[in-house]
Amino acid sequence: MAFYNNGFPATYQPMYQPQQIMTPPTIRAEIIQVDNEEAAANYPVGAGASQMMIAKDDSAIYVKTANANGYTLDVFTKRPPAPPAPKFIPEEYVRKDELEKLLASMVTAKKEEKK
């Protein structure tokens, strides 16, 4: 008796396939340009579907999702990127012991002025 496919059924898929790399799925979306939020709300979307829209001035992105009871409109407004966190430079700060010495010398100088 002859074995085909090393004795495995033709539809057999081994559990471990080192040549395949797992990648996240790619989602393709059609984005419609609209004038404003009102135009996005009025854009027709079939029940059970979602449509992504962007304002012509790039000020916001809208996602309209229709269902049997109406629709929801999610609005994502454009904002500037957050400023970078200030860099910590230890030389620009006063240590507690240095501050205590500075305050003590100021108090002493003030007392000597009054004399």
Q: How confident is the model at residue 111 (pLDDT cuts 50, 70, 90)?
A: confident
4 pLDDT exceeds 90? Answer: no
First to last CA, the chain: 118
* pLDDT number for residue 8: 67
Instruction: Note the Cα 27 to chain centre separation in Å.
Output: 17
Measured CA to CA, the distance from residue 34 to residue 55 in angstroms comes to: 5
| Mean pLDDT over each residue of the chain, to the nearest integer | 85
pLDDT band at 23 (very low <50, low <70, confident <90, very high): confident
Q: What is the pTM of this model?
A: 0.53
| Predicted confidence (pLDDT) per residue in 77-97, tens digit | 998 899 999 898 888 888 888
Give the separation between CA 44 and CA 34, rounded to whole angstroms: 12
The whole-number average pLDDT for the span 93-114 is 86
CA distance 38 to 40: 5
Give the domain ranges of the chain. 27-79+89-114
pLDDT average, residue stretch 5-19: 65
pLDDT digits over 28-55, tens only? 889 999 999 999 999 999 999 999 999 9
